[in-house]
Amino acid sequence: MSITALSADLSLELRGAVAIVRLTRAAKRNAINDGLVMGLRQAFEGFGPDIKAAVIAGDGSHFSAGLDLSELSERNAVEGMHHSRMWHKALDAVQFGRVPVVAALHGAVVGGGLELACAAHIRVADESAFYALPEGSRGIFVGGGGSVRVPRLVGVARMTDMMLTGRVYNAQEGERAGFAQYLVPAGQALDKALELAEKIALNTPATNFALTHVLPRIAEQSADHGLMTEALMAAIAQSAPEAKERVRAFLEGRASKVQKS
């Protein structure tokens, strides 16, 4: 196990094949500033082949309370557009990087923090988590990909309501709405996220790539195009030597069968 400070606001910890990227601005409720955004992009673009899965977590009492408004300066339209695109590139590196990503959520998952969480592939929340998009009441609009990612998780109507009214979802409501796939007792989100990431790391790289890069694109295609993409990806995945060995192990009784949990 090794821990590296990527910046004053971000650290990287390696646990075998799993990388833990941790927001370390606890005193600021892990509010996301420009340096942290650029650090996230650097971290997720820098993973080598030895890293098979990643976890995003936050130090202190909150995952992230959102955009650091102290950095919000007077920008003209072009500058604002480029700032938003900087966020897009960083969160695309999370969603469409080399490895599947699990977010461990607790406390505030708000604004830009929610945008970051939505870029992960799996979200584990503990009972302290709450979700909000306060941009509407502050006279601004989401700019970190939230208008694309949040509705795909919970629907346009829910996001509209959150931004128009300031509605806050608690942990239980958030899990039912689709913000998180797992809900655990307070203080256990990181442990559960690590458990899932370690399991994901055992999958073949081709399958993980198909699930994180190809499946989201199939969901946006017409049925005919999606089925063709599926056929192509299925052929690629099953042709890998590791996949052939795993199927052989199952047929020969050397692999575990699916059990009811």
Which residues are part of the catalytic machinery? 115, 135
3-state SS record for the chain: CEEEEEECCEEEEEECCEEEEEECCHHHCCCECHHHHHHHHHHHHCCCCCCCEEEEEECCCCCECCECHHHCCCCCHHHHHHHHHHHHHHHHHHHCCCCCEEEEECCEEECHHHHHHHHCCEEEEECCCEEECHHHHHCCCCCCCHHHHHHHHHCHHHHHHHHHHCCCEEHHHHHHHCCCCEEECCCCHHHHHHHHHHHHCCCCHHHHHHHHHHHHHHHHCCHHHHHHHHHHHHHHHHHCHHHHHHHHHHHCCCCCCCCCC
d(CA 12, CA 234): 34
Torsion of CA 98, 102, 106, 109, to 10 degrees: 60
